């Protein structure tokens, strides 16, 4: 404990000395940060400075081994660091799928050469990654994917289409599931492959959602030549890798939707939601006047706390040595449903003010809530539908028969 | 706060579960019900539990207790809740015991705590009156000056673990009107006090509960728990703790009824396959699992927050735990009946016991709607 305390003091001193002053107090949430990559732009140049200094200190990937550009911190030290960033309201030096998805996957399944090549570039924010899993014909039934990879010497030749590739237009590399054996059982003919998006034959088009613009793209592969050396794990064994990575994705989604802890409360102790309810519906003697909305706001806040405690419990258990398993499916289901309920409640609290689409005559914050309400309907679909997660819980956690 | 069991707590939990499973399976609860056992529990088994150190958990070591807290007591309550073991832990230890620990002066502590810790004395707390619902300040029972002491008149209902209790702590009004926070005084009334009647009330869940009637019961100053007129604060603090203990008992019940449901899903065959292979039932089971997980986290958090005396936060988390447990236990029990089908409706199967206990627990110390209102008030809207 004394060591942790000195780590905390030392880290705090270092942060105060090295993070540019313009970034203190700037983070609105724990997920704020810089994405990096070859195409990155930095509206505030200090963000780039923080990325470079943070990366040099190992703080972009605090728990990864130092030899790959990480910080080599143990989980308790990483928790202290996260706590300090939260306390100082600092954005993360770097965020993105390199850190949360492909990095952990490479650490587990990558060859030494692959780790040495890719991990340091992720840590330094040089390469931005995107995920190529879903296809127009393969959604919940992901294993039915058809993007073809045909062997040609020490290359594969890729043909097919990936859909819902978030930020593909800004990414440098894509990790993709491709079919290398069309005759095997569908899970057994899939390979996990890394593809440089600059390779000839890769093209992208954005997808317009019901909520307006989105980070989603379609990504097309036409006779794209990819070195066999870019296979992770083994040819035809990609499904094992894919499933492990989906676990990381579910945990990340759960964190994004409130699992990371209660939202900071406004002064007066009211949550953002309660404050909005009071401002729209009025109060009498410190009580929200509408008893039905009062009940709904309380129900939401309570559910959200109970969920955050459950995520914390799993993390505390992991630190105590109990490895989390398919429980991450629960976080995916619950976190996304909570987010939907939050926006349902928000638009109903706004009333007619929630009906704006764009332009003058509406409040910017209200416009954003309406767009987010529409966007949130996708939360229970992307990253594995709630129904698929319920299947996973039933079979792998509860042991119910197939 | 760490939401994980320490090694010591793991040991307490597994010991409790093994002991209760061996000494008090559900069949014992059924037998006590069917034979209309007048007491409904076993004083000998209670003393055995005392021997394991359970009854000393909430009390200081210098008073003969174990110096532990709710984080440990909930582990015992959960084990008891699994098999509906009827020993007086919620009404006796968590209500009467905490009332003594938080409110009583040296003389009352000296007279009663050793017996409570050894399992030779049970002290109940009469927190509820006819028509009071969940309002602890709804105290119509009067305590009028009579000579050097007071004379108590009124009635209390569904006093938990009062059947067989050696004393009942009675909130009575020394001043003010029904609903006032000031003017409530707690009196410890021994079971043989003239004018006191304790009469068993047969509840749907067969939990130990009694009506307590006071017809001019004489109490002297030495019987007062805390200060005259200032009993409300003690009462509220005690019921917060008892609520968390009840929540833990509910957690045990919902976990058990869910385990029974899973077992049935895996073994019951229809259309030539186990019914647990049907997706409609798998998804229902997965939903119950999630609600139980959230309930568990909430109970652990509330217990730890009270132990850490987190002002403001702890009371909110008590409401969180009770709201979650009320809904989750009922969901688990309702789903169990539905999934068991016809046999789930029969008295022969144990499922019905859990459904009844789920409902009775929900309607004790406030249901989910009550606690959402309380949460909103505490959260400043």
Q: What is the ipTM of this complex?
A: 0.95
Q: What's the confidence (pLDDT) of residue A140?
A: 86
Nearest by CB to A306, from B4, B277, B297: name it. Answer: B297
Q: Which of A30, A77, A135, A249 is catalytic?
A: A249
Q: What's the confidence (pLDDT) of residue A30?
A: 66
Nearest CA in chain A to B370: A295
A387 is catalytic: no
Least confident segment among A166-175, A313-322, B145-154, B242-251? A313-322
Q: What's the confidence (pLDDT) of residue B278?
A: 98
Q: Is the pLDDT of residue A266 over 60?
A: no
| Residues B129, B235: Cα–Cα separation, whole Å | 14
Q: What is the DSSP string of B226-277?
A: SSTTBHHHHHHHHHHHHHHHHHHHHHHHHHHHHHHHHHHHHH-EETTEEGGG
Q: What's the confidence (pLDDT) of residue A326?
A: 76
Nearest by CB to B297, from A309, A387, A391: name it. Answer: A309
Report the pLDDT averaged over residues A142-171: 96
**Low-confidence residues of chain B, pLDDT below 70?**
none
Return left, alpha or beta for A64; rule: phi > 0 is left, psi -120 to 50 is alpha, else beta: beta
Q: Which residues of A touch B379 (CB under 8 A)?
A: 269-271, 274, 298, 301
A135 token code pair: 């296809």
Q: What's the confidence (pLDDT) of residue A327?
A: 78
Judged by a CB distance cut-off of 8 A, whether residue B146 touches chain A is no
A219 token code pair: 């990504």
Q: Which residues of A touch B375 (CB under 8 A)?
A: 298, 301-302
Percentage helix, strand, coil, to 5, in chain A? Answer: 50, 15, 35
Nearest CA in chain A to B285: A394
Q: Name the nearest CA neighbour of A173 among A157, A195, A156, A158.
A: A195
Q: Which residues of A touch B286 (CB under 8 A)?
A: 390, 393-394, 397-398
- Portion of chain A with pLDDT greater than 90, in percent: 80
Q: Do B293 and A333 touch (CB under 8 A)?
A: no
Eight-state DSSP code of residue B55: G
Nearest CA in chain B to A289: B381
Q: What's the confidence (pLDDT) of residue A258?
A: 57
Q: Which residues of A touch B251 (CB under 8 A)?
A: none
Angle between helices A291-319 and B368-378 in degrees, nearest 10 = 90
Q: What's the confidence (pLDDT) of residue B307?
A: 97
Q: What's the confidence (pLDDT) of residue A33?
A: 85
More confident residue, A152 or A256: A152
Judged by a CB distance cut-off of 8 A, whether residue B290 touches chain A is yes
Q: Do A270 and B379 touch (CB under 8 A)?
A: yes
Q: What CA–CA distances, in Å, run from A138 to A164, A165, A224?
A: 11, 13, 21
Residues B59 and B179 sit within 8 Å (Cβ to Cβ): no
**What is the pLDDT confidence band of residue A28, given thresholds at 50, 70 and 90?**
confident
**What is the pLDDT confidence band of residue A260, given thresholds at 50, 70 and 90?**
low
Burial degree of A107 (CB within 10 A; 0-12, 13-18, 19+): middle
Q: Is the pLDDT of residue A261 over 60?
A: no
Q: Do A393 and B289 touch (CB under 8 A)?
A: yes
Eight-state DSSP code of residue B144: E
**What is the pLDDT confidence band of residue A138, given thresholds at 50, 70 and 90?**
very high
**What is the pLDDT confidence band of residue A328, given thresholds at 50, 70 and 90?**
confident
| Residues A161, A133: Cα–Cα separation, whole Å | 10
Judged by a CB distance cut-off of 8 A, whether residue B13 touches chain A is no
């Amino acid at each position: 404990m004394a060591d942790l305390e000195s780590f905390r003091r030392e880290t705090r001193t270092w942060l105060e000395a090295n993070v540019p002053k313009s970034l203190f107090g700037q983070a609105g949430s724990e997920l704020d940060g810089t994405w990096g990559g070859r195409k990155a732009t930095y509206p505030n140049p200090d963000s780039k400075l923080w990325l470079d200094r943070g990366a040099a200190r190992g703080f972009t990937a605090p728990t990864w081994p130092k030899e790959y550009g990480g910080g080599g911190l143990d989980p308790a030290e990483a928790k202290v660091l996260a706590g300090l960033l939260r306390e100082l309201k600092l954005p993360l030096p770097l965020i993105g799928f390199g850190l949360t998805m492909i990095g952990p996957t490479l650490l587990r399944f990558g060859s030494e050469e692959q780790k040495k090549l890719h991990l340091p570039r992720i840590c330094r924010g040089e390469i931005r990654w995107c995920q190529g899993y879903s296809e127009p014909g393969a959604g919940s039934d992901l294993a039915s994917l058809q993007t073809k990879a045909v062997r040609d010497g020490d290359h594969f030749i890729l043909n097919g289409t990936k859909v819902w590739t978030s930020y593909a237009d800004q990414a440098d590399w894509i990790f993709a599931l491709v079919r290398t054996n069309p005759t095997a059982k569908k899970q057994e003919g899939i390979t996990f492959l890394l593809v440089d998006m600059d390779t000839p034959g890769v093209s992208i088009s954005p997808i317009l959602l019901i909520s307006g613009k989105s980070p989603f793209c379609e990504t097309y592969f036409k006779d794209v030549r990819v070195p066999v050396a870019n296979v992770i794990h083994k040819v035809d064994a990609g499904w094992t890798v894919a499933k492990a990575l989906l676990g990381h994705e579910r945990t990340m989604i759960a964190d994004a939707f409130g699992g990371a802890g209660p939202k900071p409360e406004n002064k007066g102790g009211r949550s953002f939601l309660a404050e909005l309810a009071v401002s729209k519906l009025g109060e009498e003697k410190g009580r929200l006047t509408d008893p039905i909305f009062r009940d709904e706001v309380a129900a939401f806040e309570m559910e959200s706390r109970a969920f955050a405690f459950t995520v914390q419990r799993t993390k505390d258990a992991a630190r105590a040595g109990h490895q989390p398993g398919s429980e991450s499916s629960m976080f995916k289901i619950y976190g996304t449903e909570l987010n939907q309920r939050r926006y349902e409640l928000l638009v109903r609290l706004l009333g007619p003010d929630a009906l704006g689409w764009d332009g003058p005559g509406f409040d910017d914050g209200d416009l954003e809530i309406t767009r987010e309400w529409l966007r949130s309907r996708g939360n229970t679909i992307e990253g594995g539908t709630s129904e698929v997660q319920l299947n996973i819980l039933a079979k792998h956690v509860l042991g119910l028969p197939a | 706060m760490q939401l994980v069991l320490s090694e010591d707590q793991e040991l307490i939990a597994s010991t409790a579960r093994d002991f209760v499973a061996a000494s008090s399976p559900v069949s014992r609860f059924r037998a006590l019900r069917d034979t209309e056992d007048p007491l409904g529990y076993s004083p000998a088994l209670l003393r055995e539990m005392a021997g394991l150190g359970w009854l000393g958990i909430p009390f200081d070591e210098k008073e003969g207790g174990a110096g532990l807290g709710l984080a440990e007591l909930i582990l015992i309550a959960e084990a008891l809740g699994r098999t509906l073991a009827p020993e007086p832990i919620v009404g006796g230890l968590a209500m009467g015991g905490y009332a003594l620990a938080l409110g009583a002066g040296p003389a009352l502590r000296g007279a009663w705590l050793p017996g409570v810790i050894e399992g030779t004395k049970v002290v109940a707390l009469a927190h509820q009156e006819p028509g009071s619902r969940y309002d602890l300040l709804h105290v119509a029972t009067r305590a009028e000056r009579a000579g050097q002491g007071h004379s108590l008149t009124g009635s209390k209902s569904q006093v938990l673990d009062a059947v067989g209790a050696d004393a009942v702590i009675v909130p009575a009004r020394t001043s003010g009107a029904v609903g006032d926070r000031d003017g409530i005084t707690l009196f410890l009334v021994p079971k043989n006090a003239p004018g006191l009647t304790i009469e068993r009330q047969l509840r749907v869940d067969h939990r130990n509960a009694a009506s307590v009637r006071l017809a001019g019961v004489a109490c002297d100053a030495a019987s007062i728990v805390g200060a005259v007129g200032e009993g409300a604060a003690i009462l509220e603090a005690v019921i917060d703790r008892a609520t968390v203990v009840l929540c833990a008992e509910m957690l045990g019940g919902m976990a058990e009824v869910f385990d029974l449901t899973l077992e049935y899903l895996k073994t019951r065959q229809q259309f030539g396959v186990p019914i647990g292979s049907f997706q409609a039932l798998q998804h229902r089971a997965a939903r119950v699992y999630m609600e139980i997980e959230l309930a568990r986290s909430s109970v652990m958090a509330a217990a730890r927050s009270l132990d850490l005396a987190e002002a403001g936060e702890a009371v909110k988390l008590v409401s969180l735990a009770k709201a979650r447990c009320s809904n989750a236990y009922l969901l688990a029990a309702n789903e169990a009946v539905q999934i068991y089908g016809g046999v789930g409706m029969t008295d022969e199967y144990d499922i019905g016991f859990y459904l009844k206990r789920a409902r009775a627990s929900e309607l004790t110390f406030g249901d989910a709607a009550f606690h959402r209102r309380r949460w909103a008030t505490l959260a400043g809207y």
